[in-house]
Chain A
């Protein structure tokens, strides 16, 4: 059924359709209306779940860990400072192989304090062993969140669904909402094979002595890397059932493109418009929208970008002292390949700064120049920076 809902409601609805049993969450802008909506479902009797109204995000994830380990489907939602506060727990959730699903309404990180959108928060916790899936629109948020439970539970890995705060969380869009019976047919009941149970006592979270610790980490790395195949497989099944699929990345008019934009999240929509308008003028420009940032699909990235002369990596985060996270990983993907495209990293849209069509076109123009001349003047460019304010 078509409904006009915002991104946060898409999340709440997906969690309800997934029949989550324990919700443990703390309010934070711009995630807040997710937990409000879930509380409303519970109060109305539409959702039969325990909602632990914890005193912090650290406890939110801690309680999800306890609940998932005891054998029920656990869910939380957060943003920004909240994600960073629980970052210690993210590593524990993945290390214990607990299939927890969390949505993150992407927001910038303090200081200065900002409630507006960029992707610094989830980028900062990319090493935590969570699968990270980024969404372009509200339909994708709903679909990805439902898929996330299947992915998490089949692989025993936690999954983080990321979507841009305000830009999607608070923007109304038409979303095709599946029926409960359809979701039930897609998503089996939660089953955790090592659940805490007095009839079959297990010890979880022991001390990893040096003789064993590395092997635990190796196996976790293997599990996250190999999750790619399962993500694709579940997406295919989802597409068969619901008519919508997203893949691990999306190639948009990039087949014969000389210049390709690479980005994640809602910026993809703006980039598609730029690609369309430049294509109308006969320019060979395309887009690659990366959905799965973790696992990072190295082979698919090489395949999708390797044919281009130059790539504009457009992203809303920065690994301070180096470059944007997406750029770093994309550059690393091309290590040991014979012919890598030229790459320019465009840092933009931090803390909700508008990323206008003019700015995106500027990025394409600079990248085209690199493609033509065969050289990059400046590897890292800040798009839309007010130069006057940062002059010495």
Chain B
């Protein structure tokens, strides 16, 4: 495991849940980035659980301003670093899927369009978990959340997941990648690559939420891995106008195997699962996975 540093820049003792894949993904991201960074963090689980005053889990300079503006704060940090001539320090924005796909999308779009020199990491647990599992733009089709409850008239989220990496690619960002907490070597490599590029780069890491996905705290990595093995989440990177899949499952498993481990999909009928399988197949065809 030479590729992953043994220096811990997020201290243990934070308040994240047992089995939290989000904080694990950030731990790996920081191992990839090293200490010469300044983090601008959006409001969310990772902000709340790591900084209950007077404690902090962060061993790097870190600022939290609000929910919707991590990319704008990181822009200010980046320009200030330029003024100070501290070009060896990277401005890094971190936000969850709600802070990225919904409320923070405008600030992110502006920062990428302006070509700010910053790395934006989105940890995607597919709903507003910090406020108690409400659907976000990144919630997948069929998922139960507290604002997409399952009843006689409605059966969970009725829209597919918003494709933020594709939106970033459409902005012409020099580097866009998807990653999974279950594939740390792939993730670390992508974060390192993204941080080394001058300009706005984007890494989107898929990270299960134990209470939000209704999974056992020992299963978060297994569930994340199954997302990739079934093609429900695809690992790729996009640079120079070209998308390259970085991990192809040898034989793609049925999406039901991924869904059945999660309480948020417990209500799904065979027909609904078949519908999700069709959506996954289409996505895999589009990205050339099969």
Contact = CB atoms under 8 A, between A and B. Distances in A.
Contacts of B40: 66
A175 interface: no
Interface residues of A, number: 42
B72 A54 contact: yes
A71 B80 contact: yes
Interface string B73-88: 1111111111110000
A52 B76 CA distance: 8
A39 B89 CA distance: 27
A50 interface: yes
Contact of B69 (A58, A69, A209): A58
A196 B48 contact: no
Given A62-B65, A212-B54, A55 B79 contact: no
Interface string B110-140: 1001101000000000000000000000000
Contacts of B109: 55
A183 interface: no
B61 to A, nearest CB: 4
Given A52-B114, A206-B52, A58 B79 contact: no
A59 B47 CA distance: 20
B53 A67 contact: no
Contacts of A50: 79-80, 82-83
Contacts of A88: 66
A230 interface: no
Given A64-B76, A212-B54, A72 B83 contact: yes
B62 A198 contact: no
A69 B56 CA distance: 18
Contacts of A66: 40, 63, 65, 72-78, 80, 91
B35 A198 contact: yes
B38 interface: yes
Contacts of B261: none
A328 B158 CA distance: 51
Interface in A195-224: 196-198, 200-209, 212
A203 B80 contact: no
A89 B65 contact: yes
Contact of A63 (B35, B62, B72): B72
A196 B60 CA distance: 9
A198 B66 contact: no
Residue from A55, A70, A96, A205 having most chain B Cβ neighbours under 10 A: A70
Interface residues of B, number: 45
B105 to A, nearest CB: 11
A55 B109 CA distance: 9
B110 A55 contact: yes
A313 interface: no
Contacts of A54: 72, 75, 110, 114
A56 B65 contact: no
A70 B68 contact: no
Interface in A49-91: 49-50, 52-56, 58-59, 62-72, 74, 88-89
A206 B78 CA distance: 21
A99 B25 CA distance: 34
B12 interface: no
B84 A72 contact: yes
A275 to B, nearest CB: 45
B37 interface: yes
A55 B107 CA distance: 7
B66 A89 contact: yes
A196 B77 CA distance: 9
A62 B72 contact: yes
A138 to B, nearest CB: 29
Contacts of B61: 196-198, 200-202
A70 B64 contact: no
Contacts of B110: 54-56, 59
Nearest to A91: B66
Given A196-B38, A207-B52, A62 B107 contact: yes
B73 A204 contact: no
Interface in A6-39: 21-22, 24
Interface in A228-267: none
B218 to A, nearest CB: 28
B69 A59 contact: yes
Contact of A92 (B59, B66, B89, B113): B66
Nearest to A216: B53
A78 B88 CA distance: 33
B76 A70 contact: yes
A280 to B, nearest CB: 54
Contacts of A53: 114
Contacts of B36: 198
Contact of A59 (B84, B91, B107): B107
B75 A203 contact: no
Interface of A: 21-22, 24, 49-50, 52-56, 58-59, 62-72, 74, 88-89, 92, 96, 196-198, 200-209, 212
6 contacts: A52-B75, A52-B76, A59-B69, A66-B73, A203-B56, A207-B48
Given A52-B116, A62-B65, 9 more contacts: A22-B79, A54-B72, A55-B107, A56-B107, A59-B72, A67-B80, A203-B62, A205-B64, A206-B51
List 8 tightest A-B contacts by C-beta distance, closest first. A66-B76, A55-B110, A63-B76, A70-B80, A62-B72, A59-B72, A206-B51, A205-B64
